[in-house]
Chains A and B, each alone.
Chain A
Amino acid sequence: DVKVTQSSRYLVKRTGEKVFLECVQDMDHENMFWYRQDPGLGLRLIYFSYDVKMKEKGDIPEGYSVSREKKERFSLILESASTNQTSMYLCASERTSGTYNEQFFGPGTRLTVL
């Protein structure tokens, strides 16, 4: 059974703090993604990675960075948290097959920045 886990379900941080969100997958997938989900806006792609030590900016990378030191782990970093980064953060791992790519999501981390 495929599994994507995220380090925290709920997190409360203060403005200016450095925040680490961790994601681990056990499916040996090469592709991993970080999204944020906000009401009325759907899922928006922050960063993604197609391999270890490789990263690509998504649609809304400002204020975020990522780290992929091992294949199974993809971390999202908020260098200096701000209130507009209060959101649900979803990590996904992607299986690439000949027909289509399927993304498997973690349960999400609800981050509140005060």
Chain B
Amino acid sequence: QKEVEQDPGPLSVPEGAIVSLNCTYSNSAFQYFMWYRQYSRKGPELLMYTYSSGNKEDGRFTAQVDKSSKYISLFIRDSQPSDSATYLCAMSARNQGGKLIFGQGTELSVKP
């Protein structure tokens, strides 16, 4: 079983839809949770970061962490064609050298 599981998609939605991207994990030591966005032919860029459980909002994006269920989510409201990209969850634990463990990535396409 992989430490981090992410539905690879692809996911196709119409413009304006609410998008939910999810990851599950097995290592209860993970404390830092990140979402990276990767546009085609580019490297990933950090989109959002959350420490431990809770929600964090940044514009149209909301990151949610539920440590009791070992489940994290990224919500995109009012999705735009410019949101079309691959989204990767990543997580780390300080007592494990801080190495990032990535999910497989979900490819999202937002159609105008």
Contact = CB atoms under 8 A, between A and B. Distances in A.
Interface of A: 4, 9, 35, 39-45, 48, 58, 90, 92, 96, 99-108
B43 A90 contact: yes
Which 9 pairs, one residue from A and one from B, show the smallest C-beta to C-beta distance? A105-B43, A42-B104, A43-B102, A42-B102, A105-B44, A100-B32, A107-B43, A106-B43, A102-B46
Given A43-B102, A101-B92, A90 B44 contact: yes
Interface of B: 4, 6, 8, 32, 34, 41-46, 49, 51, 88, 92, 98-100, 102-105
Nearest to A31: B98
Contacts of B46: 102-103
A58 B99 CA distance: 9
B27 to A, nearest CB: 14
A42 B43 contact: no
Contacts of B32: 100-101
B99 A100 contact: no
